[in-house]
Amino acid sequence: MTPRYTLFFLLLLPLSIFSQNTVVEKVEPPFWWTGFKNTDLQLLVYGRNIASSSVTVDYPGFVLKKVHKVENPNYLFLDLTISSGARPGIATIQFKAKDKVVGKYLYELKARKKGSAQRKSFTSHDVIYLLMPDRFANGETSNDFSAGMAEQLNRSNLDGRHGGDIKGIMDHLDYFQDLGVTALWINPLLENNQEKYSYHGYSTTDYYLVDPRFGTNEDYLKLSDALHLRGIKLIKDMIFNHCGSGHWWMKDLPSAEWINQWPEFTRTNYRASTFTDPYASQADSNFFVRGWFDLTMPDLNQANPYLKNYLIQNSIWWIEYAGLDGIRQDTYPYPFKEMMAEWCKRLNDEYPEFNIVGECWLNYPASVAYWQKGSVNKDGYESSLPTVFDFPLYDALNKAFQEPESWNTGIVRLYEILAQDFSYPNPDNLVVFADNHDVGRFLDMQNSDIRKQKMAMAFILTTRGIPQIYYGTEILMSAGTDKGDASRRKDFPGGWAGDPQNAFTEVGRTKAQSDMYNYLKKLIHWRNSNEVVHTGKFRHFIPADGIYVYFRYNTKSTVMVVINNNEAEKNIETGRYNEFLKNFKSGNEIISGKKLDDLSKLTVPGKSVVIIELK
Ligand code: CA
């Protein structure tokens, strides 16, 4: 044998062994659990020409029922059942071609944590803090430049990756606790291996992997455990409507109809009302559901039965793996709605108290209510989605303190939106907010008037529903003169080593920031310990002269909220509110701490809210 041939054989030998053992490139979900109500499991198996192999599984109680081939021979979908008697352990899934073993996958069935099915979720008892992980804090600089990632750190680019990560969130648990928030909604953390504009996380390229620039799956699990030790809940942001164009399966789709394809790039019309509009043209409805959210966001076809299972199992996997307390689902009306309803039902079957909030970005209560569980819809659709964002109230809140008072402008906007709560099966399951990562910061929308931001916070923390606060609100973060999405998603000052300011600490905050922070902190902590504001009944009086008064009450306590939307201080005769006040002699004003011994008259400063615990 000449040296040349020796080299050839040396190369050939390990290569053939290599290919035999790695014909299986991916199995998803990568592992599962025993003890679910639903005993079915469908595995996606990916590997070169995997469809030409035969599959066997040898494990007691873990039975292969059916093998599905699809258009692309590089995929198999395996239907398995896990009997109630199956014990946790490792099953061998074997792939054979022409009687030779061409691949093996050791499939782990884990034991579920005790009480997993009975987990509590976020409710109106909570205050949600929304943060964008790339922009919150960079706790670990070693992950800033991650091998294999198409986009690397560039903090000078407003639309680039800035390096924030899971460690950065972990480093500020004291901060969340000090502020008093009880749940974190973190913008998506899954891998977004896109060329650019990947920091926001809405272009998933791997549904089972935390982006290495944020950390690892294990880091996410650690964060969840650490939050739970402090009584803070974790809400995962998910996107079923689209994936990222850099997703691994985009290079080799299971079938052409895995995504909604068009002869040329076709954008959705973003008009979610086409679903409920009795006059909508079929063309408009079709563009809405099947159009792509963006050039880099291929539209997934959730009507495909394998993709449907894939997404449902993926969310169960994350709930179980990371101990999630809730899910926020992006662009909720955009996927096929029957699939979304099935998803909600499957989750509810496994976790009866689990809460999901859907982003149904519509401007009218009736349109939003259509999507909430229990809604009686004319077309018979039952969405099974427990919670929706209150976009109509957000819209009203942004106008209410800015406009002149009139019959239909100013503070009356809040009153009129709440007056439409008859539309909702469950108004307590509305997430109320003044802003989020997709809209202008509330402060910027109010000409930087801090009084109005305080009014908005006092309102969302005392009205019905589940309040959500966008990170940075507490320290008056602003887009400044910058425009666009990224300007609302700036780096939290102090999250990066060497930042000129550290607003995470009391000494690092300016006087105005401290004032806002302390206002919000006081309100949140007060709210946390006052059941009446979580679940109490709501009753309001028609706004008059720029004054809006409402009460939260239950059998034990009553809280009175007065919003003065005038520039000037107002002295209010309270006789009109005797329906409630007749039962009380005095009150405590919770922000100032003042005791009120005479409830017949109230003085409320201009552009402010007073909250009174009645005694
Ligand atoms: Ca980092």
Q: Determine the CATH number of domain 535-614.
A: 2.60.40.1180
Residue 512 has pLDDT above 50, yes or no: yes
DSSP label of 359: -
How far does residue 450's CA lie from ligand 1's centre (Å)? 32
How far does residue 497's CA lie from ligand 1's centre (Å)? 11
Cβ neighbourhood burial of 595 (10 Å; 0-12, 13-18, 19+): exposed
- CA separation for the pair 396, 233 (Å, rounded): 29
How far does residue 138's CA lie from ligand 1's centre (Å)? 5
Q: In this predicted structure, what is the pLDDT of residue 483?
A: 84
**For tokens 């201080």, what's the residue?**
569
| Cα-to-chain-centroid distance, residue 514 | 28
Residues lining ion ligand 1 (Cβ < 5 A) are: 138, 140, 143-144, 163, 165
Residue 262 has pLDDT above 80, yes or no: yes
How far does residue 12's CA lie from ligand 1's centre (Å)? 41
Which amino acid is residue 521, in one-letter code?
Answer: K
From the candidates 320, 330, 390, 474, give the one annotated as an active-site residue.
Answer: 330
Band (pLDDT 50/70/90 cuts) for residue 22 is low
- Which CATH number among 3.60.10.10, 3.20.20.80, 3.30.710.10, 3.40.30.10 corresponds to the domain 126-533? 3.20.20.80
For the question of residue 428 being annotated catalytic, the response is no
From the candidates 206, 359, 435, 491, give the one annotated as an active-site residue.
Answer: 359
What mean pLDDT do residues 444-455 have?
97
Cβ neighbourhood burial of 401 (10 Å; 0-12, 13-18, 19+): buried
How far does residue 271's CA lie from ligand 1's centre (Å)? 37
Average pLDDT, the chain: 95
Q: In this predicted structure, what is the pLDDT of residue 2?
A: 38
Same fold, 9-112 and 535-614: yes
pLDDT tens for residues 284-341?
999 999 999 999 999 999 999 999 999 999 999 999 999 999 999 999 999 999 999 9
Q: In this predicted structure, what is the pLDDT of residue 482?
A: 84
- 71 Cβ partners below 8 Å, 6+ apart? 254, 255, 256
Whole-model pTM: value is 0.95
DSSP H or E stretch at residue 570: strand 570-573
Q: Are 335 and 269 spatial neighbours (Cβ–Cβ below 8 Å)?
A: no
CATH homologous superfamily of 9-112 equals Immunoglobulins (2.60.40.10)
How far does residue 162's CA lie from ligand 1's centre (Å)? 8
pLDDT tens for residues 337-375?
999 999 999 999 999 999 999 999 999 999 999 999 999
pLDDT tens for residues 219-257?
999 999 999 999 999 999 999 999 999 999 999 999 999
Residue ranges per structural domain of the chain: 9-112, 126-533, 535-614
Residue 522 has pLDDT above 60, yes or no: yes
How far does residue 153's CA lie from ligand 1's centre (Å)? 9
Q: In this predicted structure, what is the pLDDT of residue 275?
A: 86
Backbone φ and ψ for 525, nearest 5 degrees, come out as: -65, -40
Residue 595 has pLDDT above 70, yes or no: yes
Q: In this predicted structure, what is the pLDDT of residue 164?
A: 98
- CA separation for the pair 326, 351 (Å, rounded): 10
Looking at the chain, the whole-number percentage of residues with pLDDT higher than 70 is: 96
Residue 155 has pLDDT above 80, yes or no: yes
How far does residue 189's CA lie from ligand 1's centre (Å)? 13
Q: In this predicted structure, what is the pLDDT of residue 531?
A: 98
Report strand pairing: 128-131 vs 466-470.
Answer: parallel
How far does residue 202's CA lie from ligand 1's centre (Å)? 18
For the question of residue 144 being annotated catalytic, the response is no
Q: In this predicted structure, what is the pLDDT of residue 13?
A: 40
pLDDT tens for residues 383-413?
999 999 999 999 999 999 999 999 999 999 9
Minimal CA–CA distance to 533: which of 429, 462, 467, 432? 462
- 387 Cβ partners below 8 Å, 6+ apart? 355, 356, 357, 358, 372, 429, 430, 431, 466
